[in-house]
Amino acid sequence: MSIRRNPERSRAILVSLDIGRPPHAEDRAEEAARLVDSAGAQVVQTIRGRRDRPDAATFAGKGKVEEIRDALLVHGSDIVVFDRQLTAAQVRNLERALIDAVPAIRVFDRTDVILDIFAQRARTSEGKLQVELARLEHLSTRLVRGWTHLERQRGSLGKTGGPGEKQIELDRRMIGEQVKKLKDRIRKVGKVRATQRAGRTRSGILRVALVGYTNAGKSTLFNRIARTEAYVADQLFATLDTTTRRVYLGEEATIALSDTVGFIRDLPHTLVESFKATLEETIQADLLLHVVDRANPQRDEQMQAVADVLSEIGAAQVPQWVVYNQIDRVPGLEPEVVRDAYGKILNIKVSAFTGVGIDALREALAEAARDANRGSLASAA
Ligand SMILES: Nc1nc2c(ncn2[C@@H]2O[C@H](COP(=O)(O)OP(=O)(O)OP(=O)(O)O)[C@@H](O)[C@H]2O)c(=O)[nH]1
Ligand SMILES: [Mg+2]
């Protein structure tokens, strides 16, 4: 079987169950559908529901599993995606419960989907190694006794059927060895990058990193500030690799601006671990611009998710300006720079898309660069 036999995108049934009463449950389901879409599959039906706690065996519970089976049959689909992290046993039980009706059934969880997107997007050798490492570590949690023949058929989400992945044949021990090798190679690549960074650091220019939730508009803002054309797309995780540009903002005001991978709620821990090396650009920055989609009703949760990842990678202490982006989508909001009583910048409202507020942001950055320059001159004297 190959992807060519079925050129259409694979059809997926999305299961988005609320546990308890989370805020913005509807928007969460929509984000999950966008994730599946970004992975290259198409959500043909979303099954919603609410439980007080997950069912230990199948997460969804008996009734929902029936509903899932019906949906699979109606749509001729063989992919189920849970917008949750499932245990190895839950995946296995779900596949067992559905295999009679749908012989090629594959159950993916949220981590599978995110890893799948990252695997498709990785461009640099370092990025590819990091994703491979995260996938192997995730896979090793799935290799449990009593696993059926099914795992051999699991492939990428965007592909229909497809040959089993090469990792699948590896047993846990071999995965362990693989993981060690990958970590070693990542360390070596990381050393090269660290040397390059040291070169930049010595030049004494202010290092500014754009961070934020995926699809907030970081790359669009990067292009506006740097006047370049980094890849922008209305999809989740359009950017995976860090890009850094030197930007001249005026006399004695040059900065090194970095565009970075976006964050998402419940970012798989294995992925954060694997990407730590790349995210070091973020930790080492002098200033973070935390880009927020101001028009998104979930912006508070998104900001919290970003804060969580930042503290996980040790970047919580880096000075931060909040950049409320996309104000063109919020009626009544004007571009502005909000400062506290001491003149310290708290947040800046802009639209990277229309360009309003960008001049003020560039000016604020120039000012910060000059301050930093004076600071370093003073300390050198
Ligand atoms: N209306 C509006 N759309 C924007 C604005 N900024 C970005 N966008 C759109 O939002 C989408 C995502 O923009 P990107 O710049 O790729 O977002 P990102 O934060 O880099 O996303 P990832 O790299 O996927 O994490 C694109 O379709 C942009 O055109 C804005 O200020 N207003
Ligand atoms: Mg981007």
Structure confidence at residue 272 (pLDDT):
86
234 lines ligand 1 (CB under 6 A): yes
pTM summary value: 0.85
User: What are the backbone angles phi and psi of residue 173, rounded to the nearest 5°?
Assistant: -65, -45
242 lines ligand 1 (CB under 6 A): no
Ligand 1 centroid–CA 118 distance in Å is 18
Express each pLDDT in 206-229 by its tens digit. Answer: 999 999 999 999 999 999 999 887
Angle at which helix 125-142 crosses helix 172-202, to 10 degrees, equals 150
Which DSSP letter does residue 285 get?
-
Domains of the chain plus CATH, in order, are: 3-174 (3.40.50.11060), 203-380 (3.40.50.300)
Ligand 2 centroid–CA 259 distance in Å is 7
How many CB atoms lie under 10 A from the CB of residue 370? 16
Structure confidence at residue 274 (pLDDT):
79
Structure confidence at residue 176 (pLDDT):
84
Residue 331 corresponds to which tokens in the numbers above? 């009626």
298 lines ligand 1 (CB under 6 A): no
Helix H, strand E, coil C: the string for 361-372 is HHHHHHHHHHHH
Structure confidence at residue 197 (pLDDT):
65
How many CB atoms lie under 10 A from the CB of residue 182? 19
Structure confidence at residue 201 (pLDDT):
57
Structure confidence at residue 202 (pLDDT):
55
Express each pLDDT in 323-356 by its tens digit. Answer: 999 999 999 999 999 999 999 999 999 999 999 9
Within the chain, which residues score under 70 in pLDDT? 1-8, 143-171, 196-203, 376-381
